């Protein structure tokens, strides 16, 4: 993230902003997609975050923190999208999982499917905290800022998210076991 681009953008240079937005777009969209689990909502959230970023670009104080700021905007935009989506009909779209490894063994595929199902069962806040921690890889203090919550809240929420995911995975295993027994 070139500092000079951020500085130029913060003076109103839209071309510089477009370059920054293009560079960050993949990460922002992936973050939103992981939190929202719906491509259409993720696209709306990213668009909202980028629009807001431009409107507030003159508030940039430290160019080195621009990416962190964008992360925060997109996480908040995700929450906003979820609130909007709750008011309208929800179209559940379960995306298939295609990891980078193409030599998936059956067990690896099963693991990923199980994770996908477990992840779907989490609340958006828990998904968000897991995405910020595991996908964006932010240190706790910065992750708490991105989430706009105190660091203590962040840590406890992250812990609860792990616990919830583990519980969801165990429930999924039990359900699979019952299904196998009934087939047998």
Site for other proteins in 151-170 (CB under 8 A): 162, 165-166, 169-170
Number of residues that bind other proteins (CB under 8 A): 71
Min separation Cβ 69 and other proteins, Å:
5
Answer for which of 21, 36, 128, 129 binds other proteins (CB under 8 A) is 21
Min separation Cβ 155 and other proteins, Å:
14
Torsion, CA 129, CA 85, CA 168, CA 154, rounded to 10: 20
- Residue at token pair 């920054």: 20
Answer for which of 25, 156, 159, 175 binds other proteins (CB under 8 A) is 25
Q: What Å distances lie between residue 115 and 127, 170, 172, CA to CA?
A: 12, 11, 9
Answer for which of 5, 17, 154, 157 binds other proteins (CB under 8 A) is 17
- Residues numbered 38-97 forming contacts with other proteins, rule: CB under 8 A: 39, 42-44, 46-48, 50-52, 54-62, 64-65, 68-69, 72-73, 76-77, 79-81, 84, 87, 97
Min separation Cβ 68 and other proteins, Å:
5
The closest alpha carbon to 77, from 130, 146, 149, belongs to 146
- Residues numbered 90-149 forming contacts with other proteins, rule: CB under 8 A: 97-101, 107, 110-112, 114-116, 130-131, 134-135, 141-142, 145-146, 148
Please report the sign of the dihedral spanned by the C-alpha atoms of residue 100, residue 44, residue 155, residue 23: positive
Q: Judged by CB, which is closer to other proteins: 5, or 165?
A: 165
Min separation Cβ 182 and other proteins, Å:
20
Q: Two tokens at 31? A: 């973050």
CB atoms near residue 111 (< 10 Å): 13
HEC secondary structure over 15-75? HHHHHHHHHHHHHHHHHHHHHHCCHHHHHHHHHHHHHHHHHCHHHCCCHHHHHHHHHHHHH
183 binds other proteins (CB under 8 A): no
């Amino acid at each position: 993230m070139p500092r000079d681009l951020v500085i130029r953008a913060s003076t109103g240079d839209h071309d510089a902003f477009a370059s920054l937005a293009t560079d960050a777009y993949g990460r922002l969209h992936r973050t939103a997609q992981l939190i929202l689990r719906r491509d259409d909502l993720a696209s709306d959230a990213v668009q909202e975050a980028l629009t807001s970023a431009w409107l507030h670009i003159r508030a940039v104080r430290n160019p080195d923190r621009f990416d962190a700021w964008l992360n925060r905007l997109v996480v908040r935009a995700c929450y906003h999208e979820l609130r909007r989506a709750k008011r309208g009909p929800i179209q559940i779209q379960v995306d298939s999982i295609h990891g980078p490894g193409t030599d998936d063994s059956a067990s690896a595929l099963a693991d990923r499917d199980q994770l996908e199902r477990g992840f779907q069962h989490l609340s958006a806040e828990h998904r968000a905290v897991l995405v910020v921690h595991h996908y964006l890889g932010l240190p706790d203090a910065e992750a708490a800022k991105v989430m706009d919550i105190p660091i203590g809240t962040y840590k406890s929420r992250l812990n609860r998210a792990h616990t919830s995911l583990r519980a969801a995975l165990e429930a999924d295993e039990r359900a699979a076991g019952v299904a196998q027994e009934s087939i047998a």
